Amino acid sequence: MELPTKVLIGDGVLSQLGEFIEESARGGKIVIASGSNVQSRVRDKVDDALGDRGFWVDVTAADLENVEKVIASSSDSHCIIGIGGGKSVDVGKLAAFRKGLPFYSVPTSASHDGISSPFASLKGLDRPYSVKAKPPLGILADVDIISKAPRRLLSAGCGDLVSKLTAVKDWQLAHRVNGEYYGSYAASLALMSADVVIEGSRRIGKFTKEGVRDLVEGLISTGVAAGIAGSSRPCSGSEHLFSHYLDIVAPGVGLHGEKCGLGTIMMAKLQGGDWRLVRSALKNVQAPTTATELGVEDDKVVEALMRASSIRPERYTILSRYKLSKKRATELAESTGAI
């Protein structure tokens, strides 16, 4: 198991960033991977917390070029911090992993579980899903900053969280059919995190600081569940394959958590689960529950249902079991209101 060793969540905790990373930074230079939007929101606060030791690297995309840029800047530093939503954390995490440096994750939004997981999702790799790196050594989540993130990002985070329901079911199926390793503790942790949104969707959907804190804790816990399992199994099943397929056929449309949320509704029905409960929770947090709301064409959704399992054939899921025809895929999407 590889797990984060320090987690600090609270209102205004960004001011404590210096002390939080000092054990690794040891008074030296600190490389900070961050995008320009995020820098405009937090740079003054971070500079106050770190003094003049922070060396900012502008992350423009979640790709290998940016990973190289961060690595090139980190030769005389003792640690790397990723500050931002998805891309800066993923870029910083993989750069730190490749460079053998400790990594700290400082999310400024809560749109997916990459803020704590040992995985990084980047363009330019040989596959459309995430690669294994190391979990962050520490995660510092300032609820004040995250609660001011665009609402859509927080709704997407709820989508990534509910997706653990179908991911765990797929994991259980793979265990039964293929004898794949299954860890009930990691699975329970992921399911408990999904329940934060399923059971508390009306409250979370108001995105008060308290609700945002629960969402962040849920996302961090699922990343930890992946660390305990030593694989992304508790966090990523058929609904993630559906999302990855849409990444290819409808690039740039919809956020990861939005696509996973829509996928979860349909996979839950296929698995015989309570898909209506998933859909109403997503509606309560203002996440898309239809192809139109997501911004993709109906036929792309049907195609993704038919072909998503081919993205990662070794990952056995409900889509491997049923191999949906066009007719069945269309029926599934229509009957759940997705198209």
- Binding region for Zn ion (CB under 5 A): 112, 160
CB of 330 to Zn ion, least distance (A): 26
Instruction: Name which of 46 and 187 has its Cβ closer to Zn ion.
Output: 187
| Dist. CA 145–CA 303, nearest whole Å | 38
Amino acid at 317: T
Closest distance of CB 237 from Zn ion, Å? 10
- CB-based closest residue to Zn ion: 160
Q: At closest approach, how far in Å is the CB of 160 from Zn ion? A: 4
Q: Between residues 54 and 118, which has the closer beta carbon with respect to Zn ion?
A: 118
Q: Which residue has the tokens 């961050």?
A: 34
Q: What DSSP string describes 22-42?
A: HHHHTTSEEEEEE-HHHHHHH
Distance CA 332, CA 329 (A): 5
Contact call for residues 65 and 124 (beta carbons, < 8 A): yes
Instruction: Judge contact between 308 and 242, C-beta under 8 A.
Output: yes
Q: How far is the CB of 222 from Zn ion (least distance, A)?
A: 8
Q: Which is nearer to Zn ion, 232 or 330 (CB)?
A: 232
Q: Which of 69, 244 has the CB closer to Zn ion?
A: 244
Helix (H) or strand (E) segment spanning residue 44: helix 36-50
Q: Which is nearer to Zn ion, 77 or 221 (CB)?
A: 221
Tokens of 190: 């992921």
Query: Shortest distance, CB of residue 157 to Zn ion, whole angstroms?
Result: 10
Q: Judged by CB, which is closer to Zn ion: 161, or 174?
A: 161
SS3 100: coil
Q: CB of 163: closest distance to Zn ion in angstroms?
A: 6
CA distance 30 to 11: 23
| CB of 109 closer than 8 Å to CB of 150 | yes
